[in-house]
Amino acid sequence: MLATDILIQDHLLAISLVDELEGVINDERGNRETFRDLKAALELHIREEEEVYYPALAELDEFSDLMDENVAEHAMVRANLAQMSELSPADATFQTLLTETRLALEAHMEIEESDIFPRSIELLGEERINELGNQIDQMKGDAGLSLSAGI
């Protein structure tokens, strides 16, 4: 499977989990589990991009600045997730951080899905993007989240 397709699936999963957590008014166990799922999904997605996808793109002059720009975005998401881990999903601060995270994710997704992904396929070729997809799927498998598991 193409790495870009896997990363798009990751994006959709993250947004669906954010949707579940938005506006939570109580702190049921399920909300904490949903947050744990969101945190795990985003942490793995960030690793997929930083360890597999972005390094392959960085070999091209056109994408040489990609790592620096996107790693900064990833750092903000990681910081938000760390703060959110200490809070109840029903907490107002948690919800504010969740909104910030959603906005960052949506901006990130828009740039990747409308520009970076299509250009990467064009410049690297489908075969190379498929190889990267296999590496990402292996990473997911190592984390217990292979494509066959529906992620």
Per-residue pLDDT tens over the stretch 63-81: 877 777 778 889 999 999 9
C-alpha distances (whole Å) from 28 to each of 4, 24, 33, 41, 45 are: 35, 9, 9, 20, 26
Helix (H) or strand (E) holding 44: helix 29-48
Task: Give the count of beta carbons closer than 10 Å to the beta carbon of residue 107.
Answer: 11
CB-CB contact of 5 with 137 (8 Å): no
Per-residue pLDDT for 28 more than 80? Answer: no
pTM: 0.89
The CA distance from 93 to 30, in Å, is: 19
Q: For position 151, what pLDDT does the model report? A: 39
Average pLDDT value for residue range 2-14: 97
Query: Is 114 exposed, middle or buried (CB count within 10 Å of its CB: 0-12, 13-18, 19+)?
Result: exposed
Average pLDDT along the chain = 90
C-alpha distances (whole Å) from 93 to each of 85, 107, 133, 138 are: 11, 21, 36, 36
Q: For position 145, what pLDDT does the model report? A: 66
The model's confidence at residue 150, banded by pLDDT at 50, 70 and 90, is very low
